[in-house]
Structure 1
Amino acid sequence: MFDPDYELFLSIIEAGTISAAARARGLTTAAVSKCLARLEQRLSARLVNRTTRRLALTPAGQDLYETLLPLRSSLAAVEERISGRHELIRGDLRLTAPTSFGRMHLAPCLARFTEAYPDIELTIDLSDSFVDLLTSPYDAAIRIAVDVGSGLIGHRLMGSRRVLCASPAYLARMGQPESLADLERHVLLAAEGQLPWQIEGPEGQIAFHGRSAVKTNSSEVARELATGGCGIALRSLWDVAELLDCGKLVQVLPHYEGARQAAIYLVHAPTPHISANIRALLAHLREQFGDIEDMEYKAESTLSA
């Protein structure tokens, strides 16, 4: 049996926060914190740096996480092989995802998945609205958020660094903002539900309230409006890295970014055992999205130069 303290440690990292892991396991936050502290005492090493809003792995914690993941997978495979409990990967798999991320990054990486699992009947619906997974027919969702939502289980796929940006033409016309207060005289662009912006900077994290000059339910429309010179938007690097690299967009107020605890998750309703279909999809996405992490790092290096 996999060590329960190790399993809980993995759950904390995959959920993103202690409180999210506690909800997923039906435990109290205090109980999960106590188990984590017990593991750290047992190993004589600090595994996680904690703040009220996010967790960050220490070098020891990163080492343990990367060591435990293949061990857990190997142990699960051995148990299934010996006990004969091999669950077939087949049947319906209904997935919903944000429009821009789904079109740019999810759909292109699914060819190998459908080839590897031809018996899966895959349905993908794109929407910038958060679908209620507890009442809808969807099996899972790609969700970009700080918190995946109450009562749901989230598996972190990658970070989602966000920057303020605008086109050179807009900045030439309206001027470069020098402070967050200057944004009040600028045109803001955001899809429904994206404002207020959660922004981190020298003063810490703040909520910047504003009104989008154009009402839209599409995050892609907000990006295209910014690229076309209509205003300033807060966009994820996976969405605008190439536009920043080629100069069609320029970073605005580089000392301020979107809340850093935002991440991209594969989310599903709570269940005693994750289905074989979702497990297969999760493993595939974690393998594929490493390229996007590399792209974010490239854009970060360019912007900070």
Structure 2
Amino acid sequence: MFDPDYDSFLQVLSAGSLSAAARALRLSPASLSKRLTRLEDRLGVRLLHRTTRRIALTEAGRDLRDTLTQTRGMLQAVEDRIAGRGTSIAGRLRMTAPTSFGRMHLAPCLPAFLLQHPQIDLTLDLTDQFVDLLASNYDLAIRVTANVPVSLVGHRLATSGRVLCASPAYLASNGLPATLADLRGHRLLAADGQLPWHLAGPGGSTVHDGISHVRTNSSELVRELALDGCGIALRSLWDVAPALKSGALVRVLPMFAGSHDAAIFAVHPPTPLLNARLRAMIDHLALALDQRIGRCRTTYHRSGGRAGK
């Protein structure tokens, strides 16, 4: 589809290293390095700081990556339209999602979709690491966030009410905080990138910063640590509603909740024409997840809790 040097450049970014990209392209690392050097000489700029094990984009490299990714999407959309594939729900669809959400809520939604669209070749990778969609081969990412980057297109699938919570054992040992300032004397639990906490309270929006008692890249581990009495966490109702109902977790500072802007989004790189398989998946998830997350809110309300809208 592209100049071979452009394809080599994008393959290096997708693979994450020169050696891995060379294996995927069935080239030697030296041959692939020559291709990249040729492209840099042609453009008159340095695109990558690279070794055989690690690469880092320069500002010019990021510009080229974003441009090529958007151009590739536009060309694919034109090809699909001309070839009459625009309405065919078939072909490869690569997705990524947070581990806990993917296991608990995304996976149960997929059988019905695959039964309805048996010609979809689906790949779903679960990770709590940030995935750069503009530098990867993923078509769609599920994200629980309050802010979709301007470089991506976001489709809101469901609300994501969040509450501060802890186990009864932790609160029995450490006391129940009465004010937000009291949290400074407590152990906080959050995965990498989840602090500071953006909260909505009686006085409007506020931010509470701190350091997690345990450093981890796993949001799922944070929930387990909270259940085991290690501290106070800000958790989504889709994640902890059953524990709140059973009493394994109790709400802390009920006058505060996670920012009302947080929601579950399907995000993808900009494209002039959303292909049929992507549109079908987004529409399916919007309906299925809204029902599932709605049941979590209902479970929480029936247990006597008060969730953020």
Q: What TM-score do the two structures reach when normalised by structure 1?
A: 0.71
CA distance in structure 2 between the partners assigned to 1:192 and 1:304 by the alignment: 27
Aligned-pair CA distance for 1:127: 1.2
Name the structure 1 match of 2:305: 303
Other-structure match for 1:35: none
Q: What are the residue-to-residue correspondences of 1:225-240 with 2, within 5 Å?
A: 225-240=225-240
Q: Aligned to 2:135, what secondary structure does the other structure show?
A: coil
- Cα offset for 1:195? 0.3
Q: Is the 8 A contact 2:86 2:275 kept in 1?
A: no
Name the counterpart of 1:270.
270
**CA 1:85–1:221 in 2, change beyond 3 Å: closer, same or farther?**
closer
Amino acid of the structure 2 residue aligned with 1:92: R
Whole-angstrom CA distance in 1 between matches of 2:233 and 2:162: 10
* Aligned AA (2:101): F
Q: Deviations over 1:20-68 (max 9, x none)?
A: xxxxxxxxxxxxxxxxxxxxxxxxxxxxxxxxxxxxxxxxxxxxxxxxx
Tell me which amino acid in the other structure corresponds to 2:301.
E
Question: Which residue of structure 1 aligns with residue 254 of structure 2?
Answer: 254
Task: Give, in whole Å, the separation in 2 of the partners of 1:190 and 1:268.
Answer: 26
* Alignment correspondent of 2:174: 174
**Structure 1 residues 15-54: aligned runs within 5 Å:** none
Q: Which runs of 4+ in 1 moved over 6 A?
A: none
Question: Would the aligned equivalents of 2:178 and 2:253 in 1 still touch at CA under 8 Å?
Answer: yes
Amino acid at match of 1:149: P
Q: Which amino acid aligns with 2:299?
A: K
Asked whether the equivalents of residues 168 and 249 of structure 2 are also in contact (C-alpha less than 8 Å), the reply is: yes
Q: Distance in 2 between matches of 1:155 and 1:218?
A: 24
Q: 3-state DSSP class of the match of 1:284?
A: helix
Q: Could you say what secondary structure the match of 2:207 adopts?
A: strand
Question: Who is 2:193 aligned against?
Answer: 193
Deviation at 1:85?
A: 7.3
Q: Using a 3 Å threshold, how does the CA distance of structure 1 residues 259 and 304 change in structure 2: closer, same or farther? A: closer
> Which segment is superposed worse, 196-205 or 211-220?
196-205
**Cα distance, 1:207 vs. partner?**
1.3
Distance 2:299 2:255 in 1: 18
Residue aligning to 2:159 = 159
The one-letter amino acid of 1:129's match is Q
The count of corresponding residues between Structure 1 and Structure 2 is 222
Cα separation, 1, equivalents of 2:306 and 2:268: 36
Q: Which residue pairs with 1:104 in the alignment?
A: 104
2:242–2:299 contact (8 Å) kept in structure 1: no
Matched, 1:293 2:294: yes
Question: 1:173-226 CA distances to partner (integer Å, 9 max, x unpaired)?
Answer: 101000011100000000000000001111211111100010100000000000
Decide whether aligned partners of structure 1 residues 116 and 221 sit closer, same or farther in structure 2, where only a CA change above 3 A counts. Answer: same
Aligned-partner Cα distance in 1 for 2:121–2:240: 32
Structure 2, unpaired ranges of 5+: 1-83
Larger mean CA deviation between 93-102 and 284-293 belongs to 284-293
